[in-house]
Amino acid sequence: MTGPMVDALVDVMLPDGRRVDVTLRDGRISAIADHQQAVSTPAADRHVVYCGGALLLPAFVDGHCHLDKTFWGTPWRPHRASGSLRERIAHERELRARIGVPVTTRATALAEHMVSLGTGHVRSHVDIDPDVKLDGLHQLLEVREALRDKLSIQLVAFPQSGVVTAPGVPDLLDAALAAGADLIGGLDPAGFDGDVDGQLDVVFGLAERHGAGIDIHLHDGGDLGIRQLHAIAERTKTLGLSGKVTVSHAYCLGQVSDVSVDRTATALAGAGVSLMTNGPAGTMPPVLRLRDNGVRVFAGSDNIRDAWWSYGTGDMLERATIIGLEGGLMTDEELGYAASLVTDSAAAALGLADYGLAPGNRADLVVIAAANPAEAVAGHPERLLVVHDGRVVSRKTVRHADNSKAW
Ligand SMILES: [Zn+2]
């Protein structure tokens, strides 16, 4: 269920400090004009929301999460620390089998929560392995369809148990892309599969065959990770896939010298490979340095309350806060950059069409109790109104019928 169609947002603050009135029509922004102080009574059939000078941003983009893994909406489960990556994968499998709540229920609960926090677009990875096969994908395809009026969802076929070391996975990934997954994933080609070319041959081969994008989890550290970033950049360039390839995490960039970061950033920027970070303590890539080298960086939640990670709220402004803290972002300009990681940069990395605050673009919007993007990132304050495709999908305390300050 979605709320009413909105005809106009009156008195919102744009990121550049202009106070404007925004007119919406047929799910799009039709006009943005300077705010008119004079109060005119709207026609009875027009749905006008007075926003009292609150900040307007395009709806947030969560560029990396795992909707199939979350335990959101189920009772709290203590985290069990365990050893190797393979042991943790086995533990997760056992826990998910015992939980007794379907993926559709848990994923929907989390997705609805994300919507209430102003997220309009999500890229979710979904496990494809010899055990679950395409089960998780089919369930997330169902969730995507059920929530299509509130949230757009991209799905990445994610080989959680490896590509070349897990029997039958290349065929399962092929089937996943045929069944509706938008992108092909990967997982530590060296550290997990021990075969960089073997995994990348499958991943890039399937991407080419299906015309799909690529989003590879890369946790491998130091020079081992750096070498794989160069290999990915090289393949991306050779195959002309600029703008369609993401590396998620790339902790290695937070562990090597500035010289190595700059050299690798040049290769990634030249190839059009984007980087996703969730702001991990101690291993976050140096986001400002990457920006200055022309690399498109964007943000995602990654794991939210699941077998891997107890934390997470799905709040993309809070994610921008976490990245800002970890990256030492302090000035308004730098905090504005943090905001772009969950809006414009993420939208560009995900290839979202018609995104942003301009006439003709999609009316996927969030009104925030802040005066500017810097304040929004610093305090991740309340989301007053969330609009998707021109309709209200979440509303807090925005008042009607007068234009007094609403927050
Ligand atoms: Zn992930």
**pLDDT tens digits for 274-298?**
999 999 999 999 999 999 999 999 9
Å from CA of 357 to ligand 1 middle:
29
3-class state of residue 116 by DSSP: helix
Å from CA of 221 to ligand 1 middle:
16
Pairing of strands 391-395, 383-388: antiparallel
**pLDDT tens digits for 108-121?**
999 999 999 999 99
Å from CA of 361 to ligand 1 middle:
30
Å from CA of 217 to ligand 1 middle:
6
Å from CA of 311 to ligand 1 middle:
14
Å from CA of 66 to ligand 1 middle:
6
**pLDDT tens digits for 41-61?**
777 778 999 999 999 999 999
Q: Give the pLDDT score at 94.
A: 83
Å from CA of 61 to ligand 1 middle:
15
Q: Give the pLDDT score at 398.
A: 52
Q: Is the pLDDT of residue 322 over 70?
A: yes
Sort 401 into a burial class: Cβ within 10 Å, 0-12 / 13-18 / 19+. exposed
Q: Is 364 left (phi over 0), alpha (psi -120 to 50) or beta?
A: beta
Helices (DSSP H) in 253-298: which residue ranges?
A: 258-271, 287-292
Average pLDDT over residues 177-202: 98
Name the band, by pLDDT with cuts 50, 70 and 90, for residue 1.
low
Name the band, by pLDDT with cuts 50, 70 and 90, for residue 402.
very low
Å from CA of 128 to ligand 1 middle:
13
Q: Give the up-direction half-sphere exposure of residue 241: CA atoms within 13 A in the CB hemisphere.
A: 27
Å from CA of 303 to ligand 1 middle:
6
Amino acid identity of residue 268, one-letter, is L
- Report DSSP letters for 142-169, one per residue: HHHHHTTTT-EEEEEEE-TT-SSSSTTH
Å from CA of 369 to ligand 1 middle:
30
* Distance of alpha carbon 85 from alpha carbon 241, whole angstroms: 30
* Distance of alpha carbon 171 from alpha carbon 168, whole angstroms: 6
Å from CA of 280 to ligand 1 middle:
12
Name the band, by pLDDT with cuts 50, 70 and 90, for residue 80.
confident
Å from CA of 277 to ligand 1 middle:
10
User: 143 or 3: which carries more pLDDT confidence?
Assistant: 143
Å from CA of 116 to ligand 1 middle:
22
Token representation of residue 285: 């890539």
**pLDDT tens digits for 326-336?**
999 999 999 99
Å from CA of 158 to ligand 1 middle:
9
Å from CA of 276 to ligand 1 middle:
10
* Distance of alpha carbon 254 from alpha carbon 222, whole angstroms: 8
* Distance of alpha carbon 369 from alpha carbon 263, whole angstroms: 41
* Distance of alpha carbon 123 from alpha carbon 183, whole angstroms: 10
Mean pLDDT highest for which of 81-90, 327-336, 394-403? 327-336
Q: Is the pLDDT of residue 404 over 80?
A: no
Pairing of strands 245-249, 152-158: unpaired
Question: Residue 187: which residues within 8 A CB-CB, separation 6 or more?
Answer: 158, 159, 160, 162, 163, 193, 199, 216, 217
Å from CA of 187 to ligand 1 middle:
9
229 and 268 Cβ atoms separated by less than 8 Å = yes
Average pLDDT over residues 256-267: 98
